[in-house]
Amino acid sequence: MSTLALTVNRRAVDLAAEPRTSLADVVRDHLDLTGTHLGCEHGVCGACTVLIDGVPARSCITFAAACDGAAVTTIEGLDDDEIATELRAAFTREHALQCGYCTPGMLVSARDLVLRLPEADDRAIRVGMSGNLCRCTGYVGIIRAVTAVIADRRARGIAPELGAGRTLLGPVGSGHGSARADARTAPAPTSAAASAASITIADFTPAATIDQAFDVQHPPARVAALFADVAAVAACLPGVALTNAADPSRIEGEIRVQVGPIAAQFAGIARIERAVDGLSGRIIGAGNDRRSRSSTQGEIRYRLTPLGEGSATRVELAIGYTLTGLLAQVGRSGLVRDLARRLIDQFAANLERKLSGHSVGPAEATQHLNGLALLLDLIRARLPRWLGGTSRS
Average pLDDT of the chain? 80
Is 208 strand, coil or helix? strand
Model pLDDT, residue 246: 79
Question: What digits encode the pLDDT tens for the residues 48-71?
Answer: 999 998 889 999 999 998 888 888
Give the residue numbers spanning the domain of 352.
Answer: 204-392
Q: How many domains does the chain have?
A: 3
Please give the Cα distance from 199 to 182 (Å, whole number).
Answer: 19
Distance CA 119, CA 151 (A): 7
CA distance 77 to 202: 13
Distances (CA, A) of 357 to 343, 353, 360: 21, 6, 9
Whether residue 196 lies inside any domain: the answer is no
pLDDT at 184: 38
Which residues touch 174 (CB under 8 Å, ≥6 apart)?
A: 66, 168
Residues 324 and 228 in one domain: yes
CA 80 to chain centre: 10
E-state strands within the chain:
2-8, 11-17, 49-52, 55-58, 71-73, 208-216, 240-244, 251-259, 262-274, 280-289, 294-307, 312-324, 369-370
Question: CA 105, CA 85: separation in Å to the nearest integer?
Answer: 15
Q: Are residues 60 and 96 in the same domain?
A: no
Q: Assess whether 150 and 249 both reside in one domain.
A: no
Residues 364 and 241 in one domain: yes
Q: Do residues 318 and 214 both lie within one domain? A: yes
- Eight-class DSSP state of 185: H
Q: Are residues 249 and 104 in the same domain?
A: no
pLDDT score at 183 = 39
pTM higher than 0.75: no
Higher pLDDT, 101 or 331: 101
- What tens digit of pLDDT does each residue of 7-48 get? 999 888 888 888 889 999 999 999 999 999 999 999 999 999
Same domain for 286 and 353, yes or no, is yes
Do 70 and 87 sit in the same domain of this protein?
no
Q: What is the mean pLDDT of residues 364-376?
A: 48
Is residue 124 included in any domain, yes or no?
yes
Q: What angle do the packed helices 220-227 and 333-355 form, to 10 degrees?
A: 110
Nearest to 32 by CA among 13, 45, 47, 19: 13
